[in-house]
Amino acid sequence: MSLWFDVARLSVGVNVALLLALVWVWGRNYAEFRSKHALGLAMFGVFLLGENAFALYIYLVDPMLSVWFASDVPAIAWRGMMALHVLQTLGLLFLVWITWD
């Protein structure tokens, strides 16, 4: 397995954890305040959580795709995918910070 694959998997796992926390807070805020803004944030979080959960499934569980991603995807493609996942992690860390502030 390549370093890029490991970094991408770790980043997606962190994204799932961060999104679970954000959706919980935003969902709780919507239940309390009934604002469209909180609903929009919660829906955004749910959709992004679905995307990251699916990526994590592909990277870790799917018997065909996880092997293919780990061994046959060119390094340049992994660098790009890893960069996107890491940038998303940084953005989510910032959202968690401002949400809890």
Helix axes of 3-33 and 75-100: crossing angle, nearest 10 degrees: 30
At residue 1, the pLDDT reads 56
Rounded (5°) CA angle 46-81-11: 55
Cβ-proximal residues to 99 (8 Å cutoff; 6+ apart), any chain? 22, 25, 26
Q: Where are the domains of the chain?
A: 3-100
The span from the CA of 63 to the CA of 93, in Å, is 31
At residue 86, the pLDDT reads 97
Tens-binned pLDDT, residue by residue, of the chain (101 aa): 578 888 999 999 999 999 999 999 999 999 999 999 999 999 999 999 999 999 999 999 998 988 887 888 888 988 899 999 999 999 999 999 999 98
Predicted TM-score (pTM) of the model is 0.92
The span from the CA of 73 to the CA of 15, in Å, is 22
Residue 11 burial (C-beta neighbours within 10 Å; 0-12, 13-18, 19+): buried
